[in-house]
Amino acid sequence: MPFTLRRLFPLLASLLMSGAVLAQTYPSKPVTLMVPYPAGGLSDVIARTVNTTLAKNFGQPVIVENLGGVSGAIAAQKVLNSPSDGQIIFQGSPNELILSPLANAAVKFKSEDFRLVQMIATAQIAFLARKDLPVNNVDEFVDYARKMAKEGKPITYASVGPGSFYHLLGEHLSKVTHIEMTHVPYKGAAPANQDLLGGQVDIFLAPFGKSYDELAKQGKLKILAMLNTERLEGVKDYPAITESKALKTFTFTIWTGYFVKKDTPEPIVQTIHKAITDSLTDPAVRSGLEANSQLVAKPLSLVAVDKAYVDGTAQFRAIAKSINLQPQ
């Protein structure tokens, strides 16, 4: 046997053994669940719905850490600057890991620097309109928007910031309808909602929450449609976007998942994957997510998760390219 092979075999055996040891000992201390937004928001609620059960499955505490800034990129970078030992798990979405690097020149990482371990939930997107917008469904909205654009008074749409998913949705809506619309960026959903309720902005394509249902029933805003393929339980009072004529294919959701650095050892990834997958079957986790209008993710194998992340990255990059999104 050549000398190089004689030296290589012990090295490979050592690596395999060290991987097995990692799987047996991980986690040996509390795990941090990094949330890229301040406490109190929907992302924080999701994390605190999952972390207790996840801790039970790990046999170690799971501590939620909130770190906002730069559309979630500060928290993501902190994860990348930490060791690849699975001790920090990132709760993320396409907003932070796919779109932020495309929209912000200061963000230096790529989506490929992370590995998606498991999906957690999907948020439905609502087509919201101010209460006095003179339309009652999506097709009426398209006709009205076209009329206003011809009069030189394009309708306005809110987002939670340039390059955000909701900015892209608005731009994509303008592109597919060939109707000029004006983007009005906000620093978060709260001020966007405030101006929508006050009539300062016309529409907002936003993650659906129970509060919107209550506001719609109070006549304070309109829900023209859900960007779903069909009417789902809990939102059956509102049309699916596929029921419209003008925007039948304008179906979108945004998912939340748990990530680690891409070079995290495979045995650790497998342990995290199993703990998260088991958490998704817990009744308390499922009811907690559903109470916040989240669609609980169907557990996927690691192979399927890898493919879902690749496909999701390609989808969002294609949308960003279609509207010529440029880093600023």
Percentage of the chain modeled with pLDDT above 90: 69
What pTM, to 2 d.p., does this model score?
0.79
pLDDT score recorded for residue 190: 80
The answer to whether residue 90 scores a pLDDT higher than 60 is yes
> 108: part of which helix (H) or strand (E)?
none
pLDDT score recorded for residue 2: 56
Cα dihedral 195/212/177/243 (nearest 10): -160
pLDDT score recorded for residue 4: 58
SS3 label, residue 167: helix
pLDDT score recorded for residue 51: 97
**Average pLDDT score over the chain:** 91
pLDDT per position as a tens digit, 26-83 = 999 999 999 988 787 778 889 999 999 999 999 999 999 999 878 788 899 999 999 9
Whole-angstrom Cα distance, residue 174 to residue 180? 6
Whole-angstrom Cα distance, residue 90 to residue 34? 5
**Tokens 């609502």 map to which residue?**
126
pLDDT per position as a tens digit, 91-126 = 999 988 999 899 888 899 999 999 999 999 999 999
pLDDT per position as a tens digit, 235-247 = 999 999 999 999 9
Whole-angstrom Cα distance, residue 326 to residue 328? 6
pLDDT score recorded for residue 24: 72
Q: Is 1 exposed, middle or buried (0-12, 13-18, 19+ CB in 10 A)?
A: exposed
pLDDT score recorded for residue 22: 57
pLDDT score recorded for residue 13: 54
Q: Using 50, 70 and 90 to split pLDDT, how confident is the model at 5?
A: low
pLDDT score recorded for residue 226: 97
Q: Which residue ranges form the domains of the chain, and what is each CATH number? A: 24-121+255-322 (3.40.190.150), 124-253 (3.40.190.10)
pLDDT per position as a tens digit, 12-31 = 555 555 545 655 789 999 99
The answer to whether residue 298 scores a pLDDT higher than 60 is yes
pLDDT score recorded for residue 21: 60
Percentage of the chain modeled with pLDDT above 70: 93
Most confident range, picked from 66-75, 164-173, 185-194: 164-173
The answer to whether residue 272 scores a pLDDT higher than 80 is yes
The answer to whether residue 273 scores a pLDDT higher than 90 is yes
Question: Taking Cα atoms as reference points, which of 238, 241, 244 lies closest to residue 229?
Answer: 241
pLDDT score recorded for residue 210: 81
